[in-house]
Amino acid sequence: MDLMPRIALVLGLFVLTYMLNIPFGHFRTRVRKLSFKWFLYIHLPIPFIFLGRTLSHLDYRYIPFFVAAAVLGQISGGKLVF
């Protein structure tokens, strides 16, 4: 795979991971810390991120980027007020 399509793919999955975690971060702040729902809201998006990475044939070296996007999405979602 050429460099530019790979960068676009990684960037697209980074944004998708970030956007997917925003609502879960918002829901997470509305429940009691360390409860079952709190745990669920943190970990529920992970299979979808794994599926996206696997279907796009990106190897394990890109996982830290997607973990960063997930954490940023959770933090951003937790700061939402509506």
Provide the residue ranges of all domains of the chain, joining segments of one domain with +. 3-78
Q: Model-level pTM greater than 0.75?
A: yes
Q: From the CB of residue 59, how many other CB atoms can be counted at a distance below 10 Å? A: 8
pLDDT tens-digit readout, 46-61: 999 999 999 999 999 9
Q: Model confidence at 1, in pLDDT bands (50, 70, 90)?
A: low
**How would you label 18-55 residue by residue, b for 16+ Cβ within 10 Å and e otherwise?**
bebbbebbbbbbeeeeeeeebeebbeebeeebeebbee
Q: What is the pLDDT of residue 18?
A: 98
Q: What is the pLDDT of residue 2?
A: 86
pLDDT tens-digit readout, 11-40: 999 999 999 999 999 999 999 999 999 999
